[in-house]
Amino acid sequence: MYRFALEELKNWASRPDHKPLVLRGARQVGKSYLATMLADEVFDAIAEINFEQTPEMAELFSSRQPERIIPLLELRLNLPIIPGKTLLFLDEIQAAPEVFATLRYFYEQMPQLHIIAAGSLLEFVLADHKFSMPVGRIEYMHLGPMIFEEFLLAMGKQKLLDFLQGYLLSEPIPDSIHNEFMRYVRDFCVIGGMPAAINIYSKTKSYLESERILSNILSTYRADFNKYGQRVNQQRIEKVFLKIPNLVGQKLKYSQIDREEKSRDLKEALHKLELAKIIHKVVHSDANGVPLGAEMNDKYFKTIFLDVGLLCRSAGITMSDIQSTDDLMMINSGQICEQFVGQQLLYSGKYYEDPQLFYWLRQRGSANAEVDYLLTQGTKIIPVEVKAGKSGSLKSLHVFVNEKQHDFALRFYAGQPLFSDSVTSVSGMKQVKFCLLSLPFYLINQTKRLCRELTA
């Protein structure tokens, strides 16, 4: 299955100043598969070491001198490792953190050799390392689940993908085409973006088979809890892991997870799941300027799960549940749609940037307001609302636009593309006119391009 990230990897491989590349992301999002794809297309061979399967291989790196390390690897792997022709792939490197430290020596002493390192629980090593980090000698690439466009490709729908990538707001979308796209959005919500689940569905067209794969992935994540460090309370992590899918899109209060547990302990358990990339925080920002992180307040946050398919499997939601209603908002109070949108937005940025998401919250007694997500385009902040149906109140969006004096807002929903350039927001004695762009869910990864079209 094709991943758009492969083009970024090809660019890395072609650069004369490339550094050892570290792939970061949750288990089973396709890091190893992507490295293999690159090797097949660009290199003559791949020298692969998995430190979980062969931990003894770590001792071969003890000299920290690449000219001594490479001959030893060649002997063990029975494979010549030729700079420029062989990709050295160090998988599950978190199991041998001392090897991670040696990446700097490869960059300094053998820069012509292409090295990719990956690790499903690498974030734990990076957060609590006991070695000298190779700062400035490595580069990172962040990988998440497959996005909707990649899902269409896996389903053999190249023409639908071409339509999305070439779509202009001035063009009407026939209802039959719109409905076809929405059918695939519903499929994606149940199957999700995990490569193994998409792969089995593309071959069998069986939702049951994809559910089986997703259940296995969830079990794998749970089996990893004992690797999260010493003195980790696995039962507490399990409790958070099971609760979060039903709390997606809500401002999180630890009492929602367990009233009997201390907030401090639940916070630590949540943080462990964050490090494993299974859960992502969406943090409140005051949103008075960019970057949004400059005014974030992590006291207020909500969460999204790694993947919408995993969320549905964890919550016991099946395709029959989704097909039985025309309004996705009726399923789990719209959490599926907010997860779908958040998941796509989280990994719509540059691969070398650590994925982040923000939202806006105002708490004033009876005048509360919440904007689901915040995007930026240059210095402009764009508030985003998610409405699973074809209609719905945009009260919080109006509050934000009025309070921040913004002139542009975005809505994702199940309806056709719609642009309104004279929406009036009224709050108290103030009136603000703004533009509202409403996009169907399937255009979410074309958002930045379409917004540039409007402002060109």
- The strands making up 45-50's β-sheet, listed across from edge to edge, are 45-50, 86-91, 114-119, 21-24, 139-142
Asked if the model's pLDDT at residue 205 lies above 70, the reply is: yes
Task: Note the pLDDT of residue 426.
Answer: 61
What letter would DSSP give residue 434?
E
Cα separations (Å) of 418 from 171, 224, 383, 435?
11, 45, 16, 11
Whether 292 contacts 376, CB under 8 Å:
yes
Task: Note the pLDDT of residue 392.
Answer: 63
Phi, psi torsion values for 247, nearest 5 degrees: -115, 5
Mean pLDDT of 149-160: 98
Q: Cis omega (within 30 of 0) on the bond before 291?
A: yes
Structural tokens at position 156 = 């053999």
Task: Note the pLDDT of residue 85.
Answer: 97
Asked if the model's pLDDT at residue 455 lies above 90, the reply is: no
Task: Note the pLDDT of residue 222.
Answer: 96
The more confidently predicted of residues 254 and 120 is 254
Partners of 23 in beta bridges: 118, 141
Task: Note the pLDDT of residue 332.
Answer: 62
Per-residue model confidence as pLDDT tens digits over 276-335: 999 999 999 999 999 999 999 999 999 999 999 999 999 898 888 777 655 554 566 589
What span, in angstroms and rounded, lies between the C-alpha atoms of 371 and 384? 6
Asked if the model's pLDDT at residue 186 lies above 70, the reply is: yes
Mean pLDDT of 166-183: 96
What span, in angstroms and rounded, lies between the C-alpha atoms of 247 and 256? 8
Structural tokens at position 417 = 């593309």
The angle formed by the CA atoms of residues 379, 414 and 328, to the nearest 5 degrees, is: 115
Task: Note the pLDDT of residue 326.
Answer: 58
Whether 22 contacts 138, CB under 8 Å:
yes
Q: What is the dihedral of CA 158, 160, 164, 169, to 10 degrees?
A: 150
Per-residue model confidence as pLDDT tens digits over 253-264: 999 999 999 999
Q: Is 357 exposed, middle or buried (0-12, 13-18, 19+ CB in 10 A)?
A: buried
Q: What is the dihedral of CA 297, 302, 303, 308, to 10 degrees?
A: -140
Domains defined along the chain, listed by start = 5-142 (3.40.50.300), 149-455 (no CATH)
Task: Note the pLDDT of residue 367.
Answer: 73
> What is the chain's mean pLDDT, rounded?
92
Mean pLDDT of 151-173: 97
